[in-house]
Amino acid sequence: MYSFKNDYSESAHPRLLNALIETNMEQVEGYGQDCYSLQAVEILKQIIKRNDIDIHFLSGGTQTNLTALSAFLRPHEAVISASTGHILVHETGAIEATGHKIIAIEVDDGKLNPNHIKAAVDMHEDEHMVKPKLVYISNPTEIGSIYTKYELEQLNKCCRENNLFLFVDGARLGSALCSEENDLTLADMGGLVDAFYIGGTKNGALLGEALVICNNLLKNDFRYHMKQKGAMLAKGKVLGIQFLELFKDDLYFGLARHANEMAGLLRQEISRAGYRFLTHSPSNQIFPVLPNWLITKLQKRYSFYVWGKVDEDHSAIRLVTSWATKKEAVLSFIDDLKNAIA
């Protein structure tokens, strides 16, 4: 049984494990103040091309979202998110548990645009309602679509005009930046959003996300918020060492490119077999629409999520590839699909 359920089933890329083993017995400062974490921060600042940003390492995506958003917002302020947003659907009400409402916007392609944002702002017109203050997007989105530089520029402009913060969930940011359709860089991200994070957990790290705070208004006392939310690891070097290893050369992007290539191979051959897709997804998540009988056959050898029913006879499934996905497994899936059809 080979899994296409997610991109974090394997523990970590061997280089990261080796780096952790080699530094295992070294005594260093705790709570993210170790030499490895500080070096990783400097490398990321060079890549993002900004020395005035703050970078913090946290253990996971949900923890990063709830720590950041609760720190950035006052008690009466709310978050605007697509209805498919991860914080709305798959984080067990973590944001709401911090006291902040999420304003859900129905979208077709997983992406917010300025019209969506303006409608949400106009709808909340006085102090009897929550006040929209932060726009949450993820890149890629929950359904695999990605934002272009132009789209991010338009969101940036809209947020500035409406006094809103723009936050990007980057749990799979590597996949977005390495997509063949992408025209964004980490440096672009640093200039267009108020805060974002670079996901490690889903791109070769044992655990860890790097939160980048670009707006000076959001930086103050952030480590206090981390400590209060249980996000400040005593053994912070475990995170810093991994990000140093990922970004001291092209490893981070190489791993993301591999995940995308494996998804591209699946996408190409499933399309050739005559099947359509639920969404346009140029990242490492794809959503083919298949006959239910074929899904049942494939489930005998592969694990994946059935995303949703399309009609009485067809359903959409989600296939996720990762930095560790074996090409042999992808080719085997394709062969089994073709043989089942035959």
Domain annotation for the chain: domains and CATH numbers: 14-249 (3.40.640.10), 252-341 (3.90.1150.10)
**pLDDT-derived band at 89, boundaries 50, 70, 90:** confident
Is the predicted pLDDT of residue 45 greater than 90, yes or no? yes
Confidence of residue 191 (pLDDT cuts 50, 70, 90): very high
3-class DSSP state of 125? coil
- Cβ proximity of 50 and 190 under 8 Å: yes
Amino acid identity, residue 130? V
Beta bridge partners of 199: 209
Burial of 58 (C-beta count, 10 Å sphere; 0-12/13-18/19+): buried
- Crossing angle of helices 149-161/114-123, nearest 10°? 20
pLDDT at residue 174 above 90? Answer: yes
- Tens of pLDDT, residue by residue over 300-322, are 999 999 999 999 999 999 999 99
d(CA 225, CA 91) in angstroms, rounded, equals 19
- Lookup result for tokens 């089933």: 9
Phi-psi group of 303: left, alpha or beta (phi > 0 → left; psi -120 to 50 → alpha; rest → beta): beta
Query: Cα 211 to the chain's mean position, in Å?
Result: 12
Residue type, 171: A
The pLDDT, as a whole number, for residue 342 is 86
**What is the value of pTM for the model shown?**
0.97
pLDDT at 260: 98
Where do we find the tokens 């798959």? Answer: 90
